[in-house]
Structure 1
Amino acid sequence: MGKGMIIVLNGVSSSGKSTLAKEITKLLPDFFTFSIDDYDLVIEKMEDRDNQRLIPIETEYFYYRNVAMFSDRGINVILDQILHDPITLQNFYETLNSYPILLVGVHCPVEELERREQSRGDRQIGQAISQLSFVHQQEIYDVEFNTATQSITECAREIVDRLESDTPLLGFKKSLEEFASSKVLSKNNN
């Protein structure tokens, strides 16, 4: 049994990842959405956050290992998540370095992010903008979208077309190489 394909939707909060993931599953019914927000609900149920009784390991550590387990069993997944800090990147690259990955950058202009945060009412205002200082700064994507100028249907269709093309998926591999070389550089500078 081959490994399941992993479509990674990376973008700041309110950029359109969840909506895009749902649209992709309409076109690719053998893919399943696996959201970090949903996974965090599992962790939250295990913890007692009111009393600061917390699992002392970042959620992403477990999340990416679960992704690997699904892929190992031939399950195709769409990750709705944010590569938001160095620890998350390290967990992402170390855990999934041997898996088939389509790395997708989901972008949205600041003004639209602010509007979406306001209209949704379930987001901390300014969260998306604060994430922009890290998100998209080091990734090399196979496909990138601006969800304010492209329809979600267009974006999903382009992802399907990319998966069906003969062009190799190199975004994750190139990003991993950049990450590894930057870690070596930062160790040598210390």
Structure 2
Amino acid sequence: MIILNGVPRSGKSSIVAVIEETFDGLWMNLGVDRFMQMTPARYLPGIGLRPGGERQDIEPVVPILYSAMYESIAAHSRLGLNVVVDVGHHDTYAIERGILADSARRLNGLPVLFVGVRCPIEIIMERRQKTGWNVGSTTDSPISHPVQLWQREVHIPGIYDLEVDTSLLTLFYHFRERIIWNAYGIRLLPETMISAIVLENKRSNVRSIYSSKFGFDFYFPRVTKQG
């Protein structure tokens, strides 16, 4: 199971596409976009609700939607299916919701690779402009407040098993077929992404660093530095 956490337009969906197209076996994408497609319009953006507490009318259902998504992810994994998840976790709602800790507990005992997908805010703005998203900038502030909130909040607490900075890739959307493997035989990322990988093994054993923080016990295959 691979969980990709990052802001919108950081490159998560492109990584998901590579995993689904090039990794061995069946990989199911159960990320935020899929669940937003299933969400009734009056509750949108659902789990895609951005930081800032702007939609207090739907906030109470957001933790429930996250719980349902992670229960589904866990069920797929327990049935032997590979799962890749693209998501943007934050806790900047009108009140703290504790969604990340609750989501992690639902993966108790399952093999998970938690990946932080990072990208500088200037590149995020360029990608938003190129894809037609309303960037919400003004002459006083070229970067809108919601975008700044996303960038600030999504990587809290920022403890990952693998971190990727997609701004370091000049050919990010043109992946090669060659896949690198880590010591445990887990396929990671295409060759063109090697230069963007910042790996730091923050664990002293194969138990997740989140075990002590959140009180659950899912585990990660050990990741070793590549490239």
Query: What TM-score do the two structures reach when normalised by structure 1?
Result: 0.73
- Does residue 147 in structure 1 map to residue 166 in structure 2? yes
CA distances 1:159-179 after superposition (whole Å, capped 9, x unpaired):
x547626x9x87982134234
Instruction: Name which of 162, 169, 178 aligns with 2:213.
Output: 178
Identity rate of aligned residues, in percent?
A: 26
Instruction: Name which of 78, 99, 109 aligns with 1:72.
Output: 78
Question: What is aligned with 2:2?
Answer: 7
Indicate the structure with greater helix content. 1
CA distances 1:65-110 after superposition (whole Å, capped 9, x unpaired):
1101111111101001112225321231121122110111111011
CA distances 1:116-151 after superposition (whole Å, capped 9, x unpaired):
112212466444431122222213222111111035
- Does residue 42 in structure 1 map to residue 42 in structure 2? no
**Aligned mates of 1:172, 1:129 — CA distance in 2:** 33
**Aligned mates of 1:61, 1:27 — CA distance in 2:** 29
**Aligned mates of 1:73, 1:14 — CA distance in 2:** 31
Instruction: Name which of 148, 156, 171 aligns with 1:137.
Output: 156
Whether contact under 8 Å (1:138, 1:178) holds in the other structure is no
**Aligned mates of 1:74, 1:178 — CA distance in 2:** 27
Q: Which amino acid aligns with 1:72?
A: R
**Aligned mates of 1:40, 1:26 — CA distance in 2:** 23
Question: What is aligned with 2:197?
Answer: none
Q: Which amino acid aligns with 1:91?
A: D
CA distances 1:29-81 after superposition (whole Å, capped 9, x unpaired):
42222221211221226xx449xx96953221111111011111111010011
**Aligned mates of 1:36, 1:99 — CA distance in 2:** 20
Question: What is aligned with 2:119?
Answer: 108
**Aligned mates of 1:60, 1:95 — CA distance in 2:** 10
1:27-38 equivalence runs, <5 A: 27-30=22-25, 31-38=27-34
Distance 1:49 1:89, change over 3 A: closer
Q: Which amino acid aligns with 2:159?
A: I
- Does residue 119 in structure 1 map to residue 130 in structure 2? yes
Question: What is aligned with 1:184?
Answer: none
Distance 1:176 1:83, change over 3 A: farther
Question: What is aligned with 1:63?
Answer: 69
> Which secondary structure state, in structure 1, belongs to the residue aligned with residue 10 of structure 2?
coil
Q: Bigger relative contact order, structure 1 or 2, given CA contacts below 8 A and separation 6+?
A: 1
Structure 2, unaligned stretches of length 5 or more? 45-56, 92-96, 137-143, 187-200, 216-227
**Aligned mates of 1:72, 1:22 — CA distance in 2:** 23
Distance 1:77 1:133, change over 3 A: same
Structure 1, unaligned stretches of length 5 or more? 1-5, 181-190
Distance 1:55 1:114, change over 3 A: closer
